Each structure stands twice: as structure tokens, then as C-alpha cells.
């Protein structure tokens, strides 16, 4: 009987480790690949997902007429300025229909320091921000969509999301 007990311990350990490894692999596969995109920001610079490889990316779908969007922008600016040299990227994707000039005026007035581009049908279809804005899609360093945050995101939540993904 003692002999069987000693055989049972390694078998149980192997079972636990294989379940743990299988769960880790399954969790990794649960995150969908972020679709590649190319946008032109308001300054004329090209922004593409493939060009941001290895960074934590926040795609913030917003509009100038949206009160919660306006409310979260100062926190986004603050956190972006704090971490932009540490692999953080925020791309503001305006869903305004009024045109580039009115968005550019708003960006200058509010002093948004992260890149802002006009939303396209392609990026909306690929990322599906939904009916409500602001919506922020968070992409990890490996190009996987890790989270979709619908509604106002305070600066503490933005910072926590960045710090958690940046240490992976």
C-alpha cells in the first residue's frame, strides 16, 4: 500500500501541472488578434498597428460632442505624458461627422498630446466599438485585444490597465 502512495504523489503532481499548463495555453488563445490598420493622424502622420508592435495600445473611440469623452481626455493626456516613453500608445479615433477641421480645432483647444485620427468605416468595422462612446479597445504588446472598455475611463483605470499589461 505504501508503494502505491508514492506512485500517487508524482501522478497527482503531473495532473495538476498539466491542467495548469493547459489553462495557461487556453487563456493565451482566448485573446483575439487585433486587426491591422493604417490611419492618418491630424498632423498627416501614418499610424498602423504593425508599426506599434511591442507597445500597449489604447484605441479610444470618441467624439467632440460627447460629454463623457470630454471628461476623460484630461486624464488620458496626463497618463499618456507620464508613460509615453515606456511603451504606452493612445490613439484617439474621432467618430465626428463634422470633419477634420472641427476635430483639429477641438484637439488644439483641449491640448491633446497623443495622436488623433479620424475614424474610418474599416476601423469601426474591424474593432466594433459599438453604439456607445467613449469606447477604448486595449491591445497588448503581442497585438492581442485584451479588453474593451465602454464608457468613461478614469485615469486610475487607464494607468492600471497600462501597468498590468506593460509588465507582461
Q: Which residues pair with 117 in a beta bridge?
A: 41, 93
5 plus 74 within the same structural domain: no
Q: How far apart are CA 156 and CA 164, in angstroms?
A: 12
> What's residue 21's pLDDT?
44
Nearby residues of 165 by Cβ (< 8 Å), 6 or more positions away: 56, 138, 140, 141, 146
Where is 39: in which H helix or E strand?
A: strand 38-40
Task: Supply the range of the domain harboring residue 8.
Answer: 1-30
127 plus 152 within the same structural domain: yes
Q: Give how many domains the chain has, as a whole number.
A: 2
| Mean pLDDT, residues 99-120 | 96
24 plus 48 within the same structural domain: no
Here the CATH number for the domain that contains residue 86 is: 3.40.30.10
Contact 137, 59 (CB under 8 A): yes
Secondary structure (DSSP) of 76-93: HHHHHHHHTTTTEEEEEE
pLDDT digits (tens, 9 = 90+) for 32-72: 999 999 999 999 999 999 999 999 999 999 999 999 999 99
> What's residue 46's pLDDT?
97
71 vs 24 pLDDT, higher one: 71
Amino acid at each position: 500500500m505504501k508503494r502505491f502512495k508514492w506512485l500517487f504523489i508524482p501522478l497527482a503532481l503531473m495532473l495538476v501541472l498539466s491542467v495548469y499548463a493547459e489553462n495557461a495555453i487556453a487563456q493565451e488563445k482566448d485573446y483575439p488578434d487585433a486587426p491591422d490598420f493604417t490611419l492618418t493622424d491630424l498632423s498627416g502622420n501614418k499610424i498602423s498597428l504593425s508599426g506599434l508592435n511591442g507597445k500597449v495600445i489604447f484605441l479610444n473611440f470618441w467624439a467632440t460632442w460627447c460629454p463623457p469623452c470630454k471628461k476623460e481626455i484630461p486624464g488620458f493626456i496626463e497618463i499618456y505624458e507620464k508613460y509615453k516613453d515606456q511603451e504606452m500608445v493612445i490613439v484617439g479615433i474621432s467618430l465626428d461627422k463634422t470633419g477634420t477641421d472641427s476635430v483639429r480645432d477641438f484637439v488644439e483647444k483641449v491640448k491633446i498630446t497623443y495622436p488623433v485620427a479620424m475614424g474610418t468605416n474599416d476601423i469601426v468595422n474591424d474593432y466594433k466599438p459599438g453604439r456607445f462612446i467613449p469606447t477604448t479597445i486595449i491591445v497588448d504588446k503581442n497585438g492581442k485585444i485584451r479588453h474593451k472598455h465602454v464608457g468613461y475611463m478614469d485615469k486610475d483605470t487607464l494607468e492600471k490597465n497600462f501597468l498590468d499589461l506593460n509588465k507582461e
